[in-house]
Amino acid sequence: MLRFKAAIFTLLLLLLFCLSAAAQTAEELSDTAALEEPVYEIPRLAQVTNFEAKDSPDDAGGEIELTWDLSVDDKKEDGLVSKYVVLRSQNPTSDFHIVGVANHRDSSYIDKNLKEGTDYYYKIVTFPKYQGEVRLTREEIDPLMEQYPELTELDIKDVSMLAEYDRDIMSVFDDNILGISRVAGPVKSRAQWFNSKDLDTLIIGLTICISVVIFIGMARGGRKLFLRRIGGLQAIENAIGRATEMGKSILFIPGIQDMDDVQTVAGITILGRIAKTIAEYDTKINMPVSRSIVMTTARETIKEAYLSAGRPDAYSDDMVHYITDEQFGYVAAVDGIMVREKPATCFYLGAFFAESLIMAETGNSIGAIQIAGTAMPAQLPFFVAACDYTLIGEELFAASAYLSGEPKQLGSLKGQDVGKFIAMVFIIIGAVFATLAALTGSEDILEITNMIKSWFSA
Amino acid sequence: MWRRTVPIMITFIVGTVLVVAEFIPHKPFGNLGEDFSLYFDIIAVFAFILGGGNLCRVHFSKVYRKKTDWQFSIVTLLGFFVMLAAGLFKIGNPEGIQGDVTAAGSLFADLYDSMFTPLQGTMYALLAFFVASASYRAFRAKNIDASILLIAAFVILLGRTPAPSLIADFFAGAGITFMATAFNFVPTLTDWIMDVPNLAGQRAILIGIALGVISMALRLILGVERTYLGSDSK
Amino acid sequence: MANDEKNNRGLLDRLQFIDRRYIFIFIALAVIIPLLLGLRFEEKPSPIVLALYDKVDNMPPGSRLLMSFDYGPTTAPEIQPMVDVILRHACLRGLKVYLMAVWATGQSLTVQTVEDVLIPEFPDYEYGIDYINLGYKAGNQGLIRVIVDDMKRMYSTDANGTDIEQVPMMKQVESLKDMDLIVSFGGGFPGIKEWILFAGDPGAIPIGGACTAVSAPQLYPYYPNQMVGLLGGIKGAAEYESHVLDRYPDSFKTKPTPGMNMMVAQMVAHIVIMLFIVFGNVMYFMYRGKERKLAMEK
């Protein structure tokens, strides 16, 4: 009896063990199944409304602007929309291809690089958020490309995110899953003859140009114009004189940019003025350059300056010599020249980058008088710290006109003051309105502030 | 006469057309700016031969005449020709003469990586030292302006590092709360200095520069400024 | 006594302008020692860094990111941490990455970055489908002006010489306008400013930047209207690294954080500079005091 009871107990235990093992295996199996076959909740999304396509204004053609109102599902706080997929076709009913993607909460898209004059049709697909991304493998992509020759590989990769809902790639465009908008079009792209977005730039530019021309005319007519003193420019003659007294050379660095940079042009125009004084004083000038075109231009400039000073015989091509286009290679060479030749005066006039301080500090260590000028705001503090005089920004461009002393050149400087006046007036008006808008909270004042801002934004 | 008039006419026509083209997106104006940029690059490439030629001439003559420090010129010439040959003949290039000039394993790539890169890095690194020595000299509280500059520099130097929060934690631990609050405020003050006074100054300089460029460009286009052609405007 | 006074003045005068080589030694030590110790601190991202982070983070997977390597080996120690962290972030978000260089020196750095970061850390990323190296083309801002309208006019092949028409991820890219974000690395010329002026503004393309600390102040005026965000120097890199580490701890905890490490060296160097400035000013005031005293005595 006891034996029988023990046998039944053992059987029961065995049964229990088998049941638990089976349950565990089933659980594991269902886990594996879950890994292999992800189950996603596919939200059914509302389509976008008021979808319109029109030719992009102010462009060179080839662009169409699409606008729409957000899908209702995208307006909610934690919306279900991840993005909007833009489809394009030259046929209103078929052949729609993916051309781009706009982020959720975006209600516009510009389709670019289109053929001018061709009719295009568009659709927008509201695209749901998904849980994790499935990347298609090579083996999956290749057959799909064969199956859908009209799709590029990129199309397939783009829809691969959709494909995780359904591996049958075309069924993702089924209306039952995604919100697909109505077709917009036909629409053609055209080029425009005037970019109305630049109207503000045109008006400001014209005002300044006209005032420059008027002031040049006034100066030619003999009217006296007042210009403030520029310390750095008044020191130039003394600096050249010092080099002459010490019997040492003058080093001139025109920056490290080519002649297509207006700062280099400004540097060379100042060189023309300085070279004449150097020729008259019979001092030596050494000008290492980092661009070939700058070398040829500087040579011409110095040669003419020596000619007009009546010293053509004293000119030599070796005064200007090329080193390298490479920024720090050039700096190393210039520093070497400074340390070996110890010039009495160093001019740095042009466009400078990180090399500004390396050169100016080396110049300072050899006790040279240093005059710098650049329109690179980042380098100005370094020049101010290490040089004796610095021409800040616009002073570099004004220098040649200032040194020439000619009325028509000085007139152009006066003209640019009109631009400064306009800038100052609008800055003050803008600041006053912005402050009032913040203080009073008035919508009207805020609107005026934004209007003023819009005149000057890109 | 022709030497001056022709360049001035070219400057006037090209300058005016390019300014007008800026406002016209339609062909052929829309692309003029980029086309002219390309033309400049083509000319600059040919001009490089002038530069390279000049470099050789100057240094050969220095060596030949045994001028002061002529030994350095030998190093320059050696560097120039070795690099030129390595690039031109693609010496050691695993893909041969058809391969990319910078292909790994070529002499050019090796010279670039093992000499050019560290040498360039060294020159740039000098900045760290020169910034220190220049600021040591420049930041003196000689008057009120200089003192304000000095204080601003201190705030920025401190605020651009994690130091203020570390110091604030130290003071908070020591129970000196007002000092902790003060140091926690430093990064905010740094951002304010960068965003408000610095930005205002930078914008003012930029506006001045833009106006200066317009005025300079007009002087060049109208032929009022001719110094770059090697002549006075008279 | 008068002689002592004179010597004292001479000494103070000399100390005011001590030999710069002493400063150099201290700066060298201030940088080297913390780097050897390998410390790092957490950084709170500033709004301008956060703006670029958010832009990259919010782009839908599959969006196109163009990274332009506009720097050279010289500034690589400062710029490379920013390149690495943004590239890692972009790949983590599943963006399509286009690499190019407007600087000749940038080309080898693109190759190096792909070999060091992209290939070993993101083995799923396939060349030509998920990323491409377009390489360097000469022309500076002229190049940007051209490719803003027509990419294939300048890029007929990629950096490896493959016909661009054969590259799947280039099929839908006609111009820069097809990019969803362009990030320029390097603050020199051509650089972020040129990308803004010649691509961002005319093509209405979002431009982000990562530059050396010294170039950062001049780029601030472009934020936020013309530039989506900016990483300025090691500080910017450290802030981005710290933030990305905070948001994606699992993916980034094992990744190097050179920006955060270098930030410690920068902190010590800043403190050393501050101490020298204080020292210089103390000497200056002592010297001025002596001068005044002597003048009064006379």
Picking from A300, A393, A397, the nearest residue to B230 by CB comes out as A300
Contact C221 B38 (CB under 8 A): no
Could you give the CA distance from residue A451 to residue B134 in angstroms, rounded to a whole number? 45
Domain boundary among A388, A405, A422: A405
Question: Among C46, C45, C50, C89, which Cα is nearest to C67's?
Answer: C89
Question: Among A409, C188, A365, which Cα is nearest to B232's?
Answer: A409
- Name every residue whose Cβ is closer than 8 Å to that of residue C16 and which is 6 or more positions away in sequence: C280, C283, C284, C287
Residue A131: per-residue pLDDT: 47
Residue A168: per-residue pLDDT: 43
Q: Check pLDDT > 90 for residue C62.
A: no
Residue A289 parent element (H or E): strand A285-289
Domains of chain B: total: 1
- Name every residue whose Cβ is closer than 8 Å to that of residue B226 and which is 6 or more positions away in sequence: B4, B8, B232, B233
Work out whether strand A97-103 and strand A320-322 pair parallel, antiparallel, or are unpaired.
Answer: unpaired
Residue C221: per-residue pLDDT: 80
| Residues on chain C touching A365 (C-beta within 8 angstroms) | 20
Contact B161 C218 (CB under 8 A): no
Contact A327 C217 (CB under 8 A): no
**Angular region, C94: left φ>0, alpha ψ -120 to 50, beta rest:** left
> pLDDT (tens digit, 0 to 9) for every residue of chain A, 458 residues total?
556 565 665 666 566 555 555 555 555 444 444 444 444 445 567 788 888 888 888 888 888 999 998 887 777 766 677 778 788 888 887 777 777 777 777 788 888 778 888 899 998 878 766 544 445 556 666 666 666 555 555 455 555 444 443 334 444 444 455 677 788 878 888 888 888 888 888 888 888 889 888 888 888 888 777 778 888 888 898 899 999 999 999 999 999 999 888 899 999 999 998 999 999 998 999 999 999 999 999 998 999 899 888 999 999 988 999 999 888 999 999 999 999 999 999 999 999 988 999 999 999 999 999 999 999 888 999 999 899 999 998 899 988 888 888 888 888 888 888 888 988 999 999 999 999 999 998 889 999 988 888 887 65
Beta bridge partners of A348: A253, A372
> For residue B39, is it within any domain?
no
Question: Among A417, A204, A262, A389, which Cα is nearest to B208's?
Answer: A417
Q: Check pLDDT > 80 for residue C247.
A: yes
> For residue A44, is it within any domain?
no
Note which residues in 115-174 of chain B have CB less than 8 A from chain A: 119-120, 123-124, 126-127, 130-131, 133-135, 137-138
**DSSP string spanning A48-79?**
PEEEEEEEPTTSBSS-EEEEEEPPHHHHSTT-
For chains A and B, CB pairs below 8 A equal 211
| Distance in Å, alpha carbon of A312 to nearest chain B alpha carbon | 13
Contact B206 C72 (CB under 8 A): no
Length of chain B: 234
Residue A371 in contact with residue A236, Cβ under 8 Å? yes
Could you give the CA distance from residue A47 to residue A84 in angstroms, rounded to a whole number? 10
Q: Are residues A400 and A416 in the same domain?
A: no
Mutate to test the interface with B, among A206, A293, A307, A337 (most CBs of B within 10 A): A293
> For residue B143, is it within any domain?
yes
Determine contact: A265 vs chain B, CB below 8 A: yes
Picking from B132, B154, B206, the nearest residue to C276 by CB comes out as B132
Better-scored residue on pLDDT, B168 or C171: B168
> For residue B4, is it within any domain?
no
Residue C207 in contact with residue C184, Cβ under 8 Å? yes
pLDDT (average), residues C27-34: 93
Picking from C141, C149, C281, the nearest residue to B140 by CB comes out as C281
Alpha helices in A107-191 (DSSP H): 138-147, 153-163
Level-2 CATH architecture, domain C47-256? 3-Layer(aba) Sandwich (3.40)
Question: Among B157, B164, B159, B163, which Cα is nearest to B139's?
Answer: B157
Residue C46: per-residue pLDDT: 87
Nearest CA in chain B to A257: B44
Nearest CA in chain C to B98: C161
Residue A99: per-residue pLDDT: 76
Give residue-wise pLDDT tens across range C187-243: 788 899 999 988 888 778 899 999 998 888 778 888 888 899 999 989 999 999 999
B-contacting chains (≥3 CB pairs under 8 Å): A, C
B153: its two tokens: 């520099």
Picking from A83, A135, A327, the nearest residue to C60 by CB comes out as A83
Q: Classify residue B223 as exposed, middle or buried by CB count within 10 Å of its CB (0-12, 13-18, 19+).
A: middle
For chains A and C, CB pairs below 8 A equal 69
Picking from B117, B136, B198, the nearest residue to C23 by CB comes out as B136
pLDDT (average), residues B195-222: 89
The domain of A151 spans: 49-187
- The domain limits of chain C are 2-39+263-297, 47-256
Residue A209 in contact with residue B16, Cβ under 8 Å? no
- In the chain, the amino acid numbered B109 is A
Domains of chain A: total: 3
Q: Are residues A276 and A179 in the same domain?
A: no
pLDDT (average), residues C261-290: 90
Q: Check pLDDT > 50 for residue C81.
A: yes
Residue C96 parent element (H or E): strand C96-101
Assign residue A59 the CATH number of its domain. 2.60.40.10
A100: its two tokens: 């781009």
- Name every residue whose Cβ is closer than 8 Å to that of residue A121 and which is 6 or more positions away in sequence: A88, A89, A90, A91, A92, A96, A183, A184, A185, A186, A187
Q: Are residues A280 and A370 in the same domain?
A: yes
Q: Are residues A211 and A103 in the same domain?
A: no
Picking from A193, A304, A393, the nearest residue to B205 by CB comes out as A393
> For residue A428, is it within any domain?
yes
> For residue B46, is it within any domain?
no
Determine contact: B2 vs chain A, CB below 8 A: no
Q: Are residues A304 and A386 in the same domain?
A: yes
pLDDT (average), residues B49-62: 91
**CB-CB neighbours of B57 under 10 Å:** 14
Least confidently predicted of A353-367, C146-160, C268-282: C146-160
Determine contact: B199 vs chain A, CB below 8 A: no
Question: Among C160, C162, C50, which Cα is nearest to C114's?
Answer: C160
| Distance in Å, alpha carbon of B177 to nearest chain A alpha carbon | 33
Residue A4: per-residue pLDDT: 59
| Residues on chain B touching A324 (C-beta within 8 angstroms) | 55
> For residue B31, is it within any domain?
no
The domain of B228 spans: 139-234
pLDDT (average), residues B11-36: 85
> For residue A25, is it within any domain?
no
pLDDT (average), residues B196-217: 89
Contact A376 C75 (CB under 8 A): no
Note which residues in 158-217 of chain A have CB less than 8 A from chain B: 191-195, 198, 201-202, 205, 208-209, 212-213, 216
A-contacting chains (≥3 CB pairs under 8 Å): B, C
- The percent of residues above 90 in pLDDT, for chain B, comes to 23
> For residue A167, is it within any domain?
yes
